[in-house]
Amino acid sequence: MPKRKICVYAICKNEEKFVDRFVESAKEADAIYVLDTGSTDNTVKLLKERGVNVESKKITPWRFDVARNLSLEMVPKDADICVCLDLDEVIEKGWRKKLEQLWTDKTTRLSYNYNWSLDENKRPKVNFYIQKIHSRQGYHWTHPVHEVLTCDLPNEVITRTDEITVNHYPDASKSRSSYLPLLELSVKEDPEDDRNLHYLGREYMYYHRWNDCIDTLIKHLSCKNATWKEERSASMRFIARSYIALKRYEEAKMWLEKAIQETPYLRDPYLEMAFLYNTLKDYPKVITYVEKALKITHHEKIYINETFSWDSTPYDLLSVSYFYLGDKTKALENVEKALSLNPNDPRLLENCKLTKNSLKETL
């Protein structure tokens, strides 16, 4: 197994609380390079004290791709493998040895396990593959936000593994207010990029700009390159959410039916249909769609997965529906299943108590 020069690179701003954890996880590399983009706290000082190579540069106007490319330029040209991390991420111990075993002379990029969010017990809530480990030559970053590592090589060779895992511990205090204008810029720069349109439509949904969300995601679905079924299904679900917010329920049903047809193997569109019927207080249909969702036992490893499809939510919906339909036995059975997955939820605990009391009254 040949010895390879491996470097970690990152961008940061005001992340002093993550420095020690980040460096500890990245220290298996031959060197760590960080571009600071304007910290006003002790981030730079603390990184330098830990032996990290740090440069500072304010980027105006701000773009994530420019920052990523400048941080990549800090990595020496003779490096073999680059590992792109953020300071709020932790790559699990022993990663270097595994990477050296997996990397061949033909490999240019690695697809590996990424836990975007974890619960209080450090169990993955959103888990998918990510591809930010790559050869030093032949790659650059594109797009102002939700930036993409783009390959310039004539032949890209990607190796996939579950042996390397990166865990993400996001800083909830950080603002994402820059995302919307940057996404609008992304679409302006490349109006046929289906990924940008999907992200922009989703961002409009987050801002409750329902009509903008609908219009943008319909454009996404009409793109010739919009062929990834899971992402198409998500756009359909987001369109439906917007119609629900506008109280246009029939249109929401139509789009959720489309989402189910697009990805009948995902729980998500069935659960969203159940949410809609719960809003409409049509409890038999809530039960129908939740049961359809629960028949799906394979959890696809993609970023679009909704956490509510695999947590206590399906059983919570069943419990509430059975309660209102007068079947307190099944209501209790399902709220107890929900509590087995989420034992400290105060509303579930109260529902369980209420259901037990109600059941006693009927005996």
Report the alpha-carbon distance of residue 90 to residue 10 in Å, rounded. Answer: 12
Report the alpha-carbon distance of residue 347 to residue 120 in Å, rounded. Answer: 18
pLDDT at 11 over 80: yes
Query: Which residues of the chain are in CATH 3.90.550.10 domains?
Result: 6-168
Q: What is the DSSP letter of 113?
A: E
**Alpha-carbon distances, residue 74 vs 32, 69, 216, 224, 305 (angstroms):** 10, 9, 37, 37, 35
Query: Which residues of the chain are in CATH 1.25.40.10 domains?
Result: 179-289
Rounded mean pLDDT of the chain? Answer: 95
pLDDT at 363 over 70: no
**Alpha-carbon distances, residue 62 vs 70, 206, 277, 310, 339 (angstroms):** 13, 21, 43, 37, 45
CB 214 within 8 A of CB 239: yes
CB 301 within 8 A of CB 128: yes
Averaged over 45-60, what is the pLDDT?
Answer: 97
**Alpha-carbon distances, residue 108 vs 151, 182, 242 (angstroms):** 9, 29, 41
Residue 297 host element (H or E): none
| Max mean pLDDT range (161-175, 229-243, 349-363) | 229-243
Averaged over 240-246, what is the pLDDT?
Answer: 98
> Where would I find the H helices in 145-267?
179-189, 194-206, 210-222, 229-245, 249-262
Identify the CA nearest to 35 among candidates 8, 17, 5: 8
> Where would I find the H helices in 246-342?
249-262, 268-279, 283-294, 313-324, 328-341
CB 116 within 8 A of CB 95: no
pLDDT tens digits, residue range 207-226?
Answer: 999 999 999 999 999 999 99
Averaged over 247-259, what is the pLDDT?
Answer: 98
Q: What is the DSSP letter of 18?
A: G
Identify the CA nearest to 73 among candidates 48, 96, 46, 55: 55
Domain 179-289: which topology? 1.25.40
Report the alpha-carbon distance of residue 355 to residue 230 in Å, rounded. Answer: 37
CB 71 within 8 A of CB 35: yes
Model pLDDT, residue 253: 98
Model pLDDT, residue 172: 79
Strand order in the sheet with 124-135: 53-56, 31-36, 6-12, 81-84, 124-135, 109-118, 158-168, 89-91
Averaged over 259-288, what is the pLDDT?
Answer: 98
Averaged over 272-295, what is the pLDDT?
Answer: 98
**pTM attached to this predicted model:** 0.90
pLDDT at 176 over 80: no
> Confidence class of residue 125 from pLDDT cuts 50, 70 and 90?
confident
Model pLDDT, residue 304: 86
Averaged over 4-17, what is the pLDDT?
Answer: 97
> Confidence class of residue 272 from pLDDT cuts 50, 70 and 90?
very high
pLDDT at 115 over 80: yes
Report the alpha-carbon distance of residue 84 to residue 303 in Å, rounded. Answer: 18
Q: What is the DSSP letter of 2?
A: -
pLDDT tens digits, residue range 23-46?
Answer: 999 999 999 999 999 999 999 999
Q: What class does CATH assign to 6-168?
A: alpha beta
DSSP 25-66: HHTTSSEEEEEES---SSHHHHHHHTT-EEEE---SS--HHH
